[in-house]
Chains A and B, each alone.
Chain A
Amino acid sequence: MTPLLTALAALGDELAAHVVLSAAALALGIAIALPLTLWSARNAAVARLALGLASLIQTIPALALLALFYPILLWLSGLVGGRIPALGFLPALLALALYAVLPILRGGVTGLAGLDPAVREAADAVGMTVGQKLRWVEAPLVAPYIMAGIRTAAVWTIGAATLATTIGQTSLGDPIFAGLQTQNWVTVLAGCIAAAALAIAADGMLALVERGIAARRRRHVWLGLAVVAAGLGWALWPGNQEKRETLVVGAKNFSEQYILARLIGERLEAAGYAVEYREGLGSAVVFRALDAGDVDVYVDYAGTLWTGEFKRSDSPPRGAMLREIRVRLDRPGGARLIGPLGFENAYAFAMRGDVAKANRVASLVDLVAAAPQLTLGADLEFLDRPEWTAVEAAYPLRFDATRKYSPTFMYRALESGDADVITAFSSDGRIAADRLVVLTDPSGAIPNYDALLLASSKCAAAPRCVAALRPLVGAIPVSAMREANYRVDRDKDKQQPELAARWLAQRIAR
């Protein structure tokens, strides 16, 4: 029980950010839904259109809606030539607010449609103006319906706000996503419990307000609103608001990235910066975020940039590729290469030792013959990546079956025999720990995946920032990275990425 309590107690910042984000999104949702409700009440065509659009938005998965706002805002930002932040709070706010509109709008429209026509006629007959009728008759009678909609919207918003983590907004999704990637179920559980408790608490308070409105008891309304306001006040309280300059460290969604982000973050903090983490970002999002200045530092891999960003399908030698990446990045206002960290995290086809021996496979060439009897377990994106195209071109592999797994489950599948060959990563601690055989690549089809330390133009232009990062260049041998990764990924005695990062910092300082 104690680790769970410790994990819960550590969620203060995430909870505060979650509360602020949910409340802001709900407020914006209400601000959009109420005028739409009024307009819908006076025009049936508008009602149909508004409800239809809101329902359509509901059908978009929340995760996709959040992700969609990134390119939209990036495009808008480019359009106005200004700095609209495309990651973090703004896109999360907009996406969640759109989500919140439907229940409120539906509540309002239903309430207005259900108003007794006799009451409306009486309001007209006593000579009420449109405004008086709205204030004295329609608003108070429809308020309970709208309040019910707001309650539903609040619960949805608080739940969906956990997904804001994927676009770099701190929320209670942080422990959930980090925990899922590192198989740390305690942090996942802590995040879920905190989000659920927040939703229940908010719903309870809003229920009090709703009952107060329905029964016309002012005291209930004020009590509920006071508790909500107190919670908001706590979340907004500038506890230890720092005047220091803030840098944003980005990370993709696997253990090594979480560890390296913390390693980098601690160095920047030591150099006097305030650090924010944007973790669990998608591969395609994070580089563009760096280029746009939404992320200041993160680690990417040579082959990922080569094929993903530069759309190259050739595989030049290590030195030539690095030189060209440096040249390609070197343009004003964009991302900069600080340098390679010293290890490689390449795609590597790995097999269990016994299976490899039984099938007499040691290289990708051998695998061609054995593949028709074997199942390939790939990570979620590998089969769509240009590396797979390159491997298939060099080695005509025809597997019996292919399955997709999230990285951590891929190793489980290999262990259990659900997959015979997996697309592992060369810096992964489990390769050594599970005694896996990594197949050689005689044709050199897989490009090199040197870990590269990248910085935004803002960081690259600041000597203090560069000086804090420079010592990491060439400092991390693959054995150290594997060990650090294993500390987070292993099943027993799991460490948080922060702890593994501290271990790594000590290890490379020696």
Chain B
Amino acid sequence: MNGASILAPDIRFERVARRFGAVEALAPLDLTIAGGSFVALVGGSGSGKSTLLRCINRLDESAGATREGRVSIGGEPVDHLPAPELRRRIGYVFQSIGLFPHLTVAQNVGIGRRVRGGVMPPEEVAVLLDSVGLERALASRMPLELSGGQRQRVGVARALAESPQILLLDEPFGALDPVTRAALGERVRALHTARGLTTLMVTHDMAEALLLADRVVVLDQGRIVADAPPVDLASGRTGEIAEALVAVPREQARRIADLARR
């Protein structure tokens, strides 16, 4: 672990459960994400992985759902702050990106500052665009003028603009082409390390999880069925469901390697 991780807080779930009416989206579960670590939450659709992530910045607080148990960041329960205050301290990137279509790239990146009553200077926007590999000239463009990959880079820049200590990623690269996806994944992993963040990434792509995360947690029907470092998962020591998830990329990698050998 690098030095910055001492500063980044941990995220702790204690007996957290969530219901929509009679439907149990999450069974009561305990999970601790160590400060400074990069953890991937993997599972099929409906496994509860996004719900678990959204408990942290309280985006799950929609009508008709109830949350039980305690979610805390660095020992501080998330309910102790008003939701807007809490969310300003957490970076959030999600699959549909959600750039504001009526604002320029610079205004999108600077929205966190505006929310706090300030204005982000152009130099700061430029540095942020550099950090996600975007040309500075794009600052004055509108989101609709950008490619999908460029948009998600703006999304990452926006999430990191106010130097949060926690970064939440919800299928962040799901809509991108494989090349962009790999490049942006590496970029985010590098930013995680450089900034000493606590990062939690939800993905259904086991290969992505194995390659980027320090630790992979597998969810199935609201329950944790595996929790191990990538190296353990890759060698198949973690049970049936996790093994099934790992088998697909392993098989693909083997066949591609076979092709190359012919």
Contact = CB atoms under 8 A, between A and B. Distances in A.
Nearest to A143: B102
Interface stretch (B40-48, B82-90, B188-196): B82-90
Contact of B59 (A121, A129, A132, A140): A121
Contacts of B115: 126-128, 132
A132 to B, nearest CB: 6
Interface stretch (B92-100, B132-140, B205-213): B92-100
Contacts of A123: 98, 100
A125 B92 contact: yes
B230 interface: no
A126 B102 contact: no
B112 A118 contact: no
A401 interface: no
Interface in B80-124: 83-89, 92, 94, 96-102, 111-112, 114-115
B98 A125 contact: yes
Given A128-B84, A129-B84, A141 B98 contact: no
B158 A126 contact: yes
Interface in A104-160: 116-129, 132, 136-137, 140-141
A118 B84 contact: no
Contacts of B85: 127
Contacts of B199: none
B100 A122 contact: yes
Nearest to A127: B88
Nearest to A216: B102
B165 interface: no
Categorize the interface residue count of chain B.
Answer: 20 to 34
B203 interface: no
A356 B194 CA distance: 109
Nearest to A144: B102
Contact of A118 (B83, B89, B96): B96
B37 interface: no
Contact of B94 (A118, A127, A137): A118
B150 interface: no
Contact of B84 (A117, A122, A127): A127
Interface centre among A120, A124, A132 (most CB of B within 10 A): A124
Nearest to A119: B98
A129 B100 CA distance: 16
A320 to B, nearest CB: 75
Interface string A204-226: 00000000000010000000000
A87 B115 CA distance: 51
B57 interface: yes
A8 B115 CA distance: 55
Interface string A429-456: 0000000000000000000000000000
Interface centre among B97, B98, B114 (most CB of A within 10 A): B98
A121 B87 contact: no
A137 B102 CA distance: 8
Contacts of A125: 57, 59, 87, 92, 94, 98
Nearest to B91: A125
Contacts of B158: 126
Contacts of B83: 124, 127
A122 B98 CA distance: 5
B84 A121 contact: no
Nearest to A128: B115
Contact of B102 (A127, A128, A140): A140
Nearest to B98: A122
Given A118-B94, A118-B96, A126-B111, A141 B87 contact: no
A141 B158 CA distance: 20
Nearest to B103: A136
Given A125-B59, A127-B84, A132-B115, A119 B100 contact: yes
14 contacts: A118-B96, A119-B101, A120-B98, A122-B94, A122-B97, A122-B98, A125-B57, A125-B59, A125-B92, A126-B112, A127-B86, A127-B87, A136-B100, A141-B102
Going nearest first, the 7 A-B pairs with the smallest beta carbon separation are A122-B98, A127-B88, A118-B96, A118-B98, A127-B87, A125-B92, A127-B84
Interface of A: 116-129, 132, 136-137, 140-141, 216
Given A124-B83, A125-B94, 10 more contacts: A117-B96, A118-B97, A121-B96, A122-B99, A125-B98, A126-B115, A128-B84, A136-B111, A140-B102, A141-B101
